C-alpha cells in the first residue's frame, strides 16, 4: 500500500498469512507474542483457519501499557534463549500497540535482529502503532524511553479484528484518526465529524485512508527529522499524561491522552495566533464531547514527565500546532515559562 509493499490488507482471515507463507515455512521456528485479552478471543480461530501457524510457540503476556517494560521484555527473551531459538525464527506480534511496540523491540535486539511480523488487532494498531517502524519499551515510568527504528518484515491488516473491541479501545484508535485528519486531510475531518456512530462498522471504511496518511509521512521522513514530526500532534502533552496516569494507576488509554494533548495543542495554536478562534472552538468542542477532560494534573505534576520527553530540552518544548483542519506546523518551540502560563490558563478553563 502506497510505496510500502510489506503492508497487506486481507479481508479473509484464512488468507491473512498467505503473503508470507513461504517465509514462515522456511523459518526455523515461529513464535506468536500476544496478550491475555487477544489470546482467548482469536488464537483458536487463527490456528483453525491458518494452518501455517500450527507449529507456532505462543507467548502470552499480561494486557496493558504496564507490560511494555524491561521486565516483560526480559522474560520473553529468556524464553527464546531457553528454547535455543536462533536468528532464523520469525516472531509474530499479535495484538495492539503494546504488543507491536514490545515485540518489535525484542525482535530488533534478540541476537541483533530476527524477522518479525505485526498483526494489529486494535484500531490503534491498524491506523498508527504498528506502522512506521517505531519499536520500544517504557522505562522508569517514562513513555518509549528505549527504542529502535525498524519496520517489520510484514504488516498484516485484517479489519475484522476490531469487531470484538470494546468501545474504549475503539475510541482510543479513533483519536489517532482524528489526528491524521487534522494534520493532513480536511475531507477526512469533515467525514468523521459527520459519523452517526463510532463503532466498527462505521470506522472500518476509514482505516485504509489513515494507513495511507501515516505511510506518507513515514516514507517521506523515515527517521522523524522533518515532516514526520507532524504525527506528534497531541503527543507532546499526551505522552506526559499517559506516563503520569500510569504513575497514578489510572491507566488512561493512549488515545484519551492524545485527545487531551490535541485539545491543549489547539489552545496553544489559538493563543499564538495560528488557529482562528471559531475553528478552535469547533474542533475542541468535538473532541470534548468524545473525550471529556477529567481530573487532569496541574502543571507541577505534569512538568517532570514533559522534561523526560525526547522532543523537549532545557530551552523549551516542541509542539505540532494546526492552522486549520488539514494543515499543521511542526517544530513549534514553546519556552517553559510560556508553557506554564498557557497550561495554567487552559487547566482553569476546563476545570
76-103 pLDDT, tens digit each: 999 999 999 999 999 999 999 999 999 9
CB-side neighbour CA atoms (13 Å) of 277: 1
* Rg for the chain, CA atoms, rounded: 20
Q: Which of 149, 164, 179 marks a domain boundary?
A: 164
> Looking at the predicted structure, is the pLDDT value of residue 251 above 90?
no
User: What pLDDT does residue 4 have?
Assistant: 65
Mean pLDDT of 202-230: 95
Instruction: Kindly list the distances between the CA atom of residue 82 and the CA atoms of 34, 67, 76, 344, in Å, as whole numbers in the listed order.
Output: 19, 21, 10, 52
Identify any residues that bridge with 148 across adjacent strands, giving them in sequence order: 135
* Terminal C-alpha separation, the chain: 44
Give domain status of residue 27, yes or no.
yes
For residues 78 and 207, membership in a common domain is answered with no
Mean pLDDT of 212-233: 95
For residues 139 and 12, membership in a common domain is answered with yes
Domain that residue 277 falls in? 167-350
Q: What is the b/e burial string over 228-237, where b = at least 16 CB atoms within 10 angstroms of the residue's CB?
A: bbbbbbbbbb
- Report which secondary-structure segment, H or E, holds 123: helix 123-124
Give domain status of residue 1, yes or no.
no
- For the domain that residue 57 is a member of, what is the CATH number? 3.40.50.1970
This prediction has a pTM of: 0.94
Categorize the per-residue pLDDT at 294 as very low, low, confident or very high, splitting at 50, 70 and 90: confident
User: What pLDDT does residue 2 have?
Assistant: 52
Q: Which of 133, 164, 195 marks a domain boundary?
A: 164
User: What pLDDT does residue 141 have?
Assistant: 84
* Cα angle 17, 162, 132; round to 5: 65
For residues 103 and 181, membership in a common domain is answered with no
Q: For residue range 120-141, list pLDDT tens digits in order.
A: 999 999 999 999 999 999 998 8
Q: Exposed, middle or buried by CB within 10 Å (0-12, 13-18, 19+), for 155? A: buried
For residues 124 and 198, membership in a common domain is answered with no
Give domain status of residue 56, yes or no.
yes
Place of cell 477529567: 294
Mean pLDDT of 151-173: 97
Categorize the per-residue pLDDT at 147 as very low, low, confident or very high, splitting at 50, 70 and 90: very high
For residues 226 and 317, membership in a common domain is answered with yes
User: What pLDDT does residue 284 have?
Assistant: 98
Give whichever of 221-225, 248-252, 271-275, 346-350 has the largest mean pLDDT. 271-275
User: What pLDDT does residue 1 have?
Assistant: 56
The count of structural domains within the chain is 2
User: What pLDDT does residue 3 have?
Assistant: 56
For residues 208 and 312, membership in a common domain is answered with yes
Mean pLDDT of 277-301: 96
Give domain status of residue 305, yes or no.
yes
User: What pLDDT does residue 311 have?
Assistant: 86
For residues 158 and 186, membership in a common domain is answered with no
User: What pLDDT does residue 184 have?
Assistant: 98
Running DSSP on this structure, what letter comes out for residue 152?
A: -
Cα–Cα dist 20/6, whole Å: 10
Give domain status of residue 273, yes or no.
yes
Cα–Cα dist 19/154, whole Å: 8
Categorize the per-residue pLDDT at 222 as very low, low, confident or very high, splitting at 50, 70 and 90: very high
> Looking at the predicted structure, is the pLDDT value of residue 142 above 90?
no
Task: Find all residues with CB under 8 Å of 145, minimum gap 6, and list them.
Answer: 136, 137, 138, 139, 308
Give domain status of residue 2, yes or no.
no
Q: Which of 148, 164, 180 marks a domain boundary?
A: 164
Running DSSP on this structure, what letter comes out for residue 28?
A: S
Give domain status of residue 139, yes or no.
yes
Q: Cite the DSSP H helix spans in 311-350.
A: 336-350
- For the domain that residue 298 is a member of, what is the CATH number? 1.20.1090.10
For residues 175 and 312, membership in a common domain is answered with yes
Give domain status of residue 126, yes or no.
yes
For residues 147 and 250, membership in a common domain is answered with no
Query: How do beta strands 154-157 and 115-120 pair?
Result: parallel
For residues 120 and 172, membership in a common domain is answered with no
For residues 97 and 179, membership in a common domain is answered with no
Mean pLDDT of 143-167: 95
User: What pLDDT does residue 8 have?
Assistant: 95
Q: Exposed, middle or buried by CB within 10 Å (0-12, 13-18, 19+), for 45? A: exposed
Mean pLDDT of 103-123: 98
Cα–Cα dist 285/305, whole Å: 27
For residues 160 and 194, membership in a common domain is answered with no
Amino acid at each position: 500500500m502506497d510505496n510500502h509493499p510489506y503492508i497487506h490488507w486481507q479481508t479473509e482471515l484464512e488468507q491473512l498469512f498467505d503473503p508470507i507463507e513461504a517465509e514462515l515455512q522456511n523459518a526455523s521456528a515461529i513464535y506468536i507474542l500476544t496478550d491475555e485479552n487477544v489470546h482467548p478471543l482469536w488464537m483458536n480461530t487463527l490456528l483453525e483457519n491458518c494452518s501455517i501457524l500450527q507449529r507456532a510457540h505462543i507467548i502470552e503476556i499480561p494486557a496493558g501499557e504496564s507490560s511494555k517494560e524491561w521486565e516483560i521484555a526480559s522474560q520473553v527473551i529468556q524464553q527464546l534463549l531457553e528454547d535455543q531459538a536462533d536468528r532464523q525464527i520469525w516472531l509474530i506480534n499479535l495484538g495492539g500497540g503494546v504488543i507491536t511496540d514490545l515485540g518489535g523491540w525484542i525482535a530488533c535486539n534478540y541476537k541483533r535482529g530476527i524477522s518479525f511480523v505485526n498483526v494489529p488487532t486494535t484500531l490503534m494498531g491498524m491506523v498508527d502503532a504498528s506502522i512506521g517502524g517505531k519499536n520500544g519499551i517504557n522505562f522508569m515510568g517514562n513513555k518509549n524511553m528505549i527504542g529502535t527504528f525498524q519496520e517489520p518484515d510484514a504488516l498484516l491488516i485484517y479489519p475484522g479484528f476490531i469487531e470484538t473491541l470494546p468501545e474504549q479501545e475503539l475510541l482510543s484508535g479513533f483519536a489517532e484518526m482524528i489526528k491524521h485528519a487534522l494534520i493532513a486531510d480536511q475531507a477526512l475531518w469533515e467525514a468523521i465529524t459527520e459519523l452517526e456512530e463510532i463503532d466498527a462498522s462505521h470506522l472500518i471504511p476509514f482505516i485504509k485512508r489513515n494507513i495511507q496518511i501515516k505511510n506518507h509521512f513515514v516514507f517521506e521522513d523515515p527517521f522523524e527529522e522533518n515532516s514526520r514530526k507532524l504525527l506528534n500532534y497531541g503527543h507532546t502533552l499526551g505522552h506526559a499524561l499517559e506516563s503520569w496516569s500510569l504513575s497514578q494507576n489510572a491507566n488512561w488509554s493512549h488515545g484519551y491522552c492524545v485527545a487531551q494533548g490535541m485539545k491543549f495543542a489547539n489552545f496553544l495554536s489559538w493563543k499564538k495566533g495560528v488557529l482562528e478562534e471559531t475553528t478552535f472552538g469547533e474542533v475542541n468542542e468535538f473532541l470534548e464531547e468524545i473525550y471529556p477532560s477529567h481530573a487532569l494534573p496541574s502543571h507541577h505534576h505534569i512538568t517532570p514527565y514533559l522534561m523526560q520527553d525526547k522532543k523537549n530540552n532545557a530551552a523549551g518544548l516542541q509542539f505540532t500546532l494546526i492552522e486549520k483542519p488539514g494543515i499543521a506546523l511542526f517544530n513549534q518551540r514553546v519556552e517553559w515559562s510560556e508553557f506554564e502560563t498557557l497550561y495554567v490558563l487552559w487547566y482553569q478553563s476546563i476545570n
